Amino acid sequence: MNIHLYLYRYIIMRTRDIDKEQLVKQKAIESIVKSGFEGFSMNKLAKACHISVATLYIYYKDRDDLIIKIAQEEGLRMAETMLQNFDTEASFEAGLRVQWENRFNYMMNNPLISVFFEQLRSSTYHAQFMETFKAHFEPAIKQFMHNALDRGEINRMSLEVYWSIAFAPLYALIRFHNEGQSIGGIPFKISDEILWATFDYVVKALKK
Amino acid sequence: MSIYLLMENFDHILLFKTNCKTTADKQLLQSLLKKQEGVDEWNLDLEDCDCVLRIITYTLNQECIIELLNNNGYECCKLI
């Protein structure tokens, strides 16, 4: 066979496989979000993807293996997204702003993912998910915090206190937005003004 | 690198639908497959309705595994 034709065919095959893999991941997340881990099975997933069960088992040992692999990949993807344009040497405010931007964009572009992560949090798969996420995310964020403390920009505090002030407000806004309403059923839609006004209060609370 | 090396080949992964439904079945399978030469890795998915048996082998063929299970009273056929 002509090598160019061969290469062409190979590239087509490969592309299709990647598409199929993507489809499997996407459908798996959709299905878990919709019916939980208990209602999720390899058979149902194969049907939803219009592929044979055997094809799924080529790539994954079993249901647990599939969920863990998807959770780890998503953990890695989230860590990578969160570190985009993030400079560990930046000032505290500038660094936290990038963190907010990245987290906000990630959650907005992947609406199902926050539900999926919540489900993982209360499941037996949580440890494996956090392991991948932390391994990629923690070193950079530790360095950033270390610098901010050294420069005297913020006070030393526990991780829980820090996170509750630094990020919980962002996630509360995203939750209101996703639910379309805030406290007491008041209609709510997020805007840049609301997002960055909240951010300014957060910075005010944390900075010395 | 030769282009051929980049091609994915899954011939070493054998997949079966079985009626091995319980952990007791799984234990029995373990003793059977342990004795069987050529089985590099195996897994039985008890949570799936097809009770999928997944075997990694570079030397054995499907018939060989089907016969092994059938001889021990289990149903086993190729997973499609």
B50 in reach of chain A (CB within 8 A): yes
Third-level CATH fold of B3-78: Alpha-Beta Plaits (3.30.70)
User: pLDDT-derived band of residue A174, with 50, 70 and 90 as boundaries?
Assistant: very high
The pLDDT value recorded for residue A14 is: 45
Min Cα–Cα distance to chain B from A34, Å:
19
Q: Where along chain B do its domains lie?
A: 3-78
CB contact under 8 A, B47 and A63: yes
Q: Where in the sequence of chain A do the CATH 1.10.10.60 domains occur? A: 1-59
- CATH 1.10.357-classified regions of chain A: 70-206
| Chain B residues within 8 A of A11 when measuring between CB atoms | none
Architecture of domain A70-206: Orthogonal Bundle (1.10)
- For chain A, counts of helices (H) and of strands (E): 10, 0
ipTM of this complex: 0.81
pLDDT at A185: 93
Q: How far apart are CA A2 and CA A5, in angstroms?
A: 5
> Inter-chain contact A43–B49, Cβ cutoff 8 Å?
yes
Q: What pLDDT is attached to residue B4?
A: 46
DSSP string, B1-14: --HHHHS---TTEE
Among B14, B42, B77, B79, pick the best mutation site for testing chain A contact (most A Cβ within 10 A). Answer: B79
Helix (H) or strand (E) holding B76: strand B76-78
Q: How far is CA B18 from the centre of its chain?
A: 10
A11 — pLDDT class (breaks 50, 70, 90):
very low
Class of domain A1-59: mainly alpha
Span A56-84, pLDDT tens digits? 999 999 999 999 999 999 888 888 999 99
CB A30 within 8 A of CB A113: no
DSSP-derived secondary structure letter, A9: H
- pLDDT-based confidence at A6, cuts 50/70/90? low
Q: Please give the model's pTM, rounded to 2 decimal places.
A: 0.77
Instruction: Tell whether A8 lies on the interface with B, counting CB pairs under 8 A.
Output: no
- Tokens, residue A35: 């019916």
**Which are the contacts of A120, defined by CB distance < 8 A and separation ≥ 6?**
A71, A126, A129
Contact A53 B50 (CB under 8 A): yes
Cβ–Cβ contact B15 with A under 8 A: yes
